[in-house]
């Protein structure tokens, strides 16, 4: 079983490399975090396939390639403070926690958060602070963050979120009106919103950000 898992993991890492992920730090974080523990037992045997999978409550754990792509886009050095909106299974959060100083993460579905928190505990990831709540407006009390990662799709990015990121920091976020027309964007924060630099990282399909505050 253990042997099989390590072969599946090695294949996944090779897949990610062939798809353009080149950061050894990101790939080794993916190798270290056991994706199966974030999954319901029925899907655990698919943990190292490069696909998104259901985690209940109509939500999904992201595809490993997308987790790698979003993480690589942040070019982490290890001393950053990151805000994640949409903890979900906690898989992306855990990858970030190995590569940064601290990760704050918000999730609006309580049972998902509770499950994610038990995974963080199991893996002894003590630099994650996760909270139950609506992350639509970020976490202004704790701002500024070095980076922000939004793991659910927004129709447009709210300036009130970008204002919580320090200059030269970045926000990685799927933007699109429907899930067939989403693009992953990296926004590098300038002195003011006109100086922000936008990069397109490709087509994606995320569950939508849901809020009562819109
Ligand atoms: N990266 C995650 C994927 C999360 S799916 C993983 O690998 O598992 C997106 C998550 O965003 C869902 O769990 C959803 O409940 C959450 N979400 C949607 N709207 C939100 C909001 N307004 N505030 C916080 N979380 C939100």
Residue 196 is predicted with a pLDDT of 98
Residue 48 is predicted with a pLDDT of 97
Residue 213 is predicted with a pLDDT of 76
The token pair that represents 8 in the structure block: 């599946």
b/e burial code for range 43-79 (CB count within 10 A of at least 16 → b):
beeebbbeebbebeeebbbbbbbbbbbbbbbbebeee
Integer Cα distance of 139 and 162 in angstroms? 11
Q: Which of 74, 85, 88 to mutate to test the pocket of ligand 1 (most atoms within 8 A of CB)?
A: 88
> Roughly how many angstroms between the first and final C-alpha of the chain, as a whole number?
47
Residue 2 is predicted with a pLDDT of 59
Work out the pLDDT band at 82, boundaries 50, 70, 90: very high
For ligand 1, whether the C-beta of 163 sits within 6 Å is no
28 belongs to the catalytic site: no
- Across 55-79, average pLDDT: 97
> Which entry of 6, 22, 62, 97 is annotated as an active-site residue?
62
Is the four-CA dihedral 143, 175, 52, 10 of positive or negative sign? negative
The token pair that represents 49 in the structure block: 């396939």
Integer Cα distance of 171 and 189 in angstroms? 8
What does the pLDDT look like over 37-52, one tens digit per residue?
A: 999 999 999 999 999 9
Whether the predicted pLDDT of 110 surpasses 60: yes
Contact 164, 174 (CB under 8 A): no
Residue 157 is predicted with a pLDDT of 97
Q: What is the pTM of this model?
A: 0.97
What does the pLDDT look like over 156-196, one tens digit per residue?
A: 999 999 999 999 999 999 999 876 789 999 999 999 999 99
For ligand 1, whether the C-beta of 188 sits within 6 Å is no
In sequence order, the β-bridge partners of residue 105 are 84, 130
Q: Which of 151, 154, 179, 182 to mutate to test the pocket of ligand 1 (most atoms within 8 A of CB)?
A: 151
- Across 88-116, average pLDDT: 98
Whether the predicted pLDDT of 78 surpasses 70: yes
| Block residue for tokens 């062939």 | 18
Residue 43 is predicted with a pLDDT of 97
> What atom of ligand 1 comes closest to residue 136's alpha carbon?
22
For ligand 1, whether the C-beta of 117 sits within 6 Å is no
């Amino acid at each position: 079983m253990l042997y099989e898992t390590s072969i599946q993991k090695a294949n996944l890492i090779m897949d990610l490399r062939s798809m353009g992920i080149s950061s050894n730090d990101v790939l080794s974080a993916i190798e270290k975090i056991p994706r199966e523990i974030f999954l319901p037992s029925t899907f655990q045997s698919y943990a190292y396939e490069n696909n998104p999978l259901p985690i209940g409550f109509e939500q999904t754990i992201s595809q490993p390639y997308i987790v790698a792509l979003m993480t690589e886009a942040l070019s982490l050095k290890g001393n950053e403070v990151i805000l994640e909106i949409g903890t979900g299974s906690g898989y992306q959060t855990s990858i970030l926690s190995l590569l940064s100083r601290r990760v704050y993460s918000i999730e609006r579905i309580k049972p998902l958060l509770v499950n994610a928190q038990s995974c963080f505990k199991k893996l002894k990831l003590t630099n994650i602070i996760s909270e139950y709540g609506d992350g639509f407006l970020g976490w202004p009390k704790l701002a500024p963050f070095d980076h922000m990662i939004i793991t659910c799709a927004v129709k447009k990015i709210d300036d009130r979120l970008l204002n919580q990121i320090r200059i030269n920091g970045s926000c990685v976020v799927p933007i699109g009106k429907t899930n067939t027309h989403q693009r992953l964007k990296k926004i590098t924060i300038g002195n003011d919103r006109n100086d922000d630099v936008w990069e397109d990282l490709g087509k994606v399909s995320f569950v939508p950000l849901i809020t009562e505050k819109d």
